[in-house]
Amino acid sequence: MKPITPMEPKMAARIPTTSDWTAQIKWDGVHVLTYYDGREAHLFNRKRRERTLNYPELTNVPSYCSAHSVILDGEIISLADDGRPSFHKVMKRDGIRNPSRIPAIQSQVPITYMIFDVLFYNGEWVTDQPFKERQKLLSNIIIPNEHVQLVRSHDDGEALFDAIKQTGMEGIVMKQLDSRYYIGEKNEVWIKIKNTRDLIAAIGGFTLRDGIVNSILLGLYDRSGEFIYIGHTGTGKLSVLEWRELTKQLLPLEIKQPPFINSVGRHSDAHWVKPHITAKIHFAEWTEGQKLRQPSIQAFVDVPPTECVLVEET
C-alpha cells in the first residue's frame, strides 16, 4: 500500500450548531495512518514518513481490527502525569531513529492510538462514503485495547469545547456527518476550533548562559521566501538534558549574520544559525507587530524549515 497524505481540518472561529455536524476532541499527538494488507502493517505520519518501528504496540493489526485489509487514520498520543495528552512526551517516541532504543522507552512513554477514520476496508476505498457511515464501520471492526481507542463523537460541539477549555486541552474538530474523506486536502467539511494556539517555527538564533542554550529566536518564511523573526522563548517543556542536547545541535550551525530579514530587537548577545531545527510552539496570541505573545517550546519536530510559513491561519 502506497502511503497517502491524510485529510486535515481547516481552522475556524465558530462552532457549527446544526444537527448535520458532529464534534470530536482534537488530540495533541502525532497524526499517523496505519496500512494493513492482510500480511504486514506499516505506519506513516502525515508527511508520509514511516514510523512502523517507533510504535510496535500497533503493528499487530488483527489484535484490534477485524478487517482483512485496512487503512486507519488517527492520532498517537501519550498522557502526562495530569492525564492530558503531552505532545512533548509523545515526541520522545516519535523522534527515535535507533530501533534498539524502542523496547527501553516503551514503558517510559506508553502510547494510545486514537482512531477517528477508516479510508480503506477489505480491498475497497471507502473515502466516498459519508463520515457517519465510516464511523459505523469503525465501530464494527475496531476492538479497543490498552493501546487502541476509538475517538468518540459528540452531538453538542459547544458543550464539548467548554469541557476542553476547562481541562486546558488543545481544541475540537467539527465534522459534517455526510462528508466524504478528501485525501491530501484541507476542506471546510472538517473544521478545527482551538483552545490553545500553536505553530511550527524554525530556529534562527539562540542565546547562551554558562555555555548552554537558554533561549531560542524563532522565525517563519513569508510568501516571498524571506525569513521573518517572530519572537524568542526560553520556556516550555524542555529538560536540562534536552537544553544541553540542543546546544550540541545548534553550535555547529552557527553563522556570522542573522538569517532574519527584520530586526530582532535587543538581542545583541544572540548567536545566529542557519534555519535547520524546527519546533512546535504554543503561544497566547499574535501582537500587532507580528510577534508571538507568551511562546513556549513543546517539542522539536521532523518538519523542514521551508514548511514553516507565515500564513493567516496560524
Write down the mean pLDDT value for the chain. 94
Instruction: Check whether 313 has a pLDDT greater than 80.
Output: no
Instruction: Check whether 3 has a pLDDT greater than 90.
Output: yes
pLDDT confidence of residue 288: 85
Among residues 110, 118, 133, the alpha carbon closest in space to that of 67 is found at 118
Residues 289-292: contacts with CB under 8 Å, at least 24 apart: 290/228, 290/230, 291/229, 291/230, 291/231, 292/218, 292/230, 292/231, 292/233
Instruction: Check whether 59 has a pLDDT greater than 50.
Output: yes
Burial 116-149 (b: 16+ CB within 10 A, else e): bbbbbbeeeebbebebeebbebbeebbeeeebbb
Task: For residue range 233-279, list pLDDT tens digits in order.
Answer: 999 989 999 999 999 999 999 999 999 999 998 888 899 999 999 99
Instruction: Check whether 136 has a pLDDT greater than 80.
Output: yes
Question: Cα–Cα distance between 172 and 163 in angstroms, integer?
Answer: 10
How buried is 223 (Cβ within 10 angstroms: 0-12 exposed, 13-18 middle, 19+ buried)?
A: exposed
Q: Mean pLDDT over residues 90-108, rounded?
A: 91
pTM for the full model?
0.87
Q: Mean pLDDT over residues 152-173, rounded?
A: 95
Domains recognised in the chain with CATH numbers: 8-194 (3.30.470.30), 197-307 (2.40.50.140)
Instruction: Check whether 218 has a pLDDT greater than 60.
Output: yes
Q: DSSP state, 5?
A: P
- From the CB of residue 154, how many other CB atoms can be counted at a distance below 10 Å? 16
CB of 175 closer than 8 Å to CB of 130: no
pLDDT confidence of residue 25: 97
- H-run or E-run covering 77: strand 70-77
pLDDT confidence of residue 220: 97
Task: For residue range 274-310, list pLDDT tens digits in order.
Answer: 999 999 999 988 998 889 999 999 999 999 999 999 8
User: Cell match 534555519: residue?
Assistant: 275
Q: Mean pLDDT over residues 22-48, rounded?
A: 96
- H-run or E-run covering 118: strand 112-121
Q: What's the pLDDT band for 314 if we cut at 50, 70, 90?
A: very low
Q: What's the pLDDT band for 312 if we cut at 50, 70, 90?
A: low
Question: Cα–Cα distance between 156 and 312 in angstroms, integer?
Answer: 28
